[in-house]
Chain A
Amino acid sequence: MKRICLVCQNVDCKNRGSEEIMKELQQRASDKGLDADWEVKPYMCFGACQEGPNVVLYPEKTWYAGVKKDDVGEIAEHMAGGPDVKRLDTIDASLKDLIYQLLDTGVF
């Protein structure tokens, strides 16, 4: 199964530029030849609106919050096997738990 990179497209994240971030991630993933392994796609909402734009990598369960266009290169690096972008991993465990459980049941 392909790994997925979910980019929130709800109101708040969108207002902060998540549409552009998604396109940029798709482009970078393609450029790195990751299309066979990864699918970058929209998600309706992770419920962390104040901290968006939010990007979740699944099934590995990495959550990047407050993602800016400048961060996209490092996230793509991570998807290609590079290190975690630790400074963007700021979401509290209980919300992660809620969202990861939903993703585990196949809601995406």
Chain B
Amino acid sequence: MEGILFPRGVVDGKETLDAYRARGGYQALDKALKRMSPRDVLQEIDASGLRGRGGAGFPTGKKWTFTADTRETPRYVILNGGEDEPGSKKDRLLMENVPHLILEGVILAAYAVGASKAYLYINADYKDAIRAMEEAVADAKKLGYVGERIGGKDFSLEIEFFPAPHDYVAGEDSAVIEVIEGKRPLPRQKPPFPATAGLNAKPTAVNNVETLANVAPIILRGAAWYRGIGTAESAGTMVFSLNDEVKRPGVYELPFGTPLRHLIESCGGGTRDGKKIKAVLPGGPSSAFLSGDQLDVALDHNSVRAAGSSIGCGVIGIVTEDQCIVEEALRIAEFFAKESCGQCPACRMETNTLAMLLRKIQQGQGQAAMLEQFGKVIAFNKGKGFCSLINMPGPPIESAVRLFRGDFEAHLAGKCSSTS
């Protein structure tokens, strides 16, 4: 299938500058510089319905408007390639394989919001991605797309690379800014939001890699074309990550609204050993479990929400019938307890308490009343942190207890339903 980001919808080797130009590369930027004001570009992105692909799904046009509407200068754009979500590899594969597409998006974003400097913040482990992006920047400089007076206009852009540390919270937008300011990756209290007061307290548009990869195609072919792909409230495509639970792991770019079953069965080839699916996390470890009989859900923001979960950044986690949900829930709880940065006491309290409850249940030292404690601890701490990590363990853990209470009761009775 043809994709918007990956020419064939899947990884197909690194795209050279020539190959990128052959599919319209840098024509969006040429068009914008010749015929569109920064406000025109911003309005086109707004009209396209593009939503952030880093997990929250916030409308990109709205975010950029906050930045563009301030009177403050200088302004900044940050490409957020921190990507520390377990199982996510889409941003790495996009940067490695279609670096010019991403770079053109960064330059267009800077033009739209009036930024004079862009930071490419990339997971320090992603050596190939960093190299690919560096080569793309060098090419773009030669073509006059990065530097002084781009396209002869009053628009100059400097680009700097910044390695992202490994902490999970280092991908949170205000923590990204802290890191670039030379500090530890700790999320800031909001408001103010980075869009109006970010890097050096100046307006800063922080966007996920996949989000920015969508920008050039939208500007080149128009918002109406983009809106024709996907669904009414989730326009375009999304790059989904499948991991070792399926026969053909990888990333798959599909229009929003594609059934989950198509992704797992037709793209991924089904589960590795042909085992029946017990549950799916459709949006990484912070999404709620869907049960195995919900595989026909359409993968778009509204449909997945209506089914009780969220699409996050498109990492699909699969639990098969031979696996125990208690073990999965414990793994998730321990992940968040470990990744909580520790600066908000409520987040430490919640993540550690949930992990301890699950550990006791998993070890058969629990009692039935424990199952009633999860919801109370989660409700008590809701929204009490600087960032959204405090709200992340709730959906998977509460859904696990609701959908698979039998697995928990078995553990409380000293048995485990797992046969794997």
Contacts and interface: CB of A to CB of B under 8 A. Distances in A.
A104 B360 CA distance: 13
A49 interface: yes
A11 B345 contact: yes
Interface stretch (B116-124, B130-138, B207-215, B373-381): B373-381
Nearest to B365: A106
A47 B343 contact: no
Contacts of A10: 345, 348-349
Contacts of A95: 380
Nearest to A101: B373
Contacts of B365: 106
Contacts, number: 60
Interface string A42-59: 001111010000000000
Taking residues whose C-beta sits less than 8 angstroms from the other chain, chain B's interface range is 20 to 34
Contacts of A102: 353, 357, 373, 377
B348 A107 contact: no
8 contacts: A10-B349, A11-B343, A45-B346, A47-B380, A101-B369, A102-B373, A105-B373, A106-B367
A47 B376 contact: no
B295 interface: no
Interface string B341-366: 01111101100110011001000011
A62 B345 CA distance: 22
A11 B377 CA distance: 18
A104 B368 CA distance: 11
A45 B373 contact: no
A12 B367 contact: no
B370 interface: yes
Taking residues whose C-beta sits less than 8 angstroms from the other chain, chain A's interface range is 10 to 19
A12 B345 contact: yes
What are the nearest 6 A-B pairs in CB distance? A45-B349, A49-B345, A105-B370, A10-B345, A44-B352, A11-B345
Nearest to A49: B345
A106 B357 CA distance: 9
Contact of A98 (B344, B352, B367, B377): B377
B357 A45 contact: no
A106 B366 contact: yes
Contact of B348 (A45, A101, A104): A45
B369 A47 contact: no
Contacts of A11: 342-345, 348
A44 B345 CA distance: 9
A11 to B, nearest CB: 5
A45 B366 contact: no
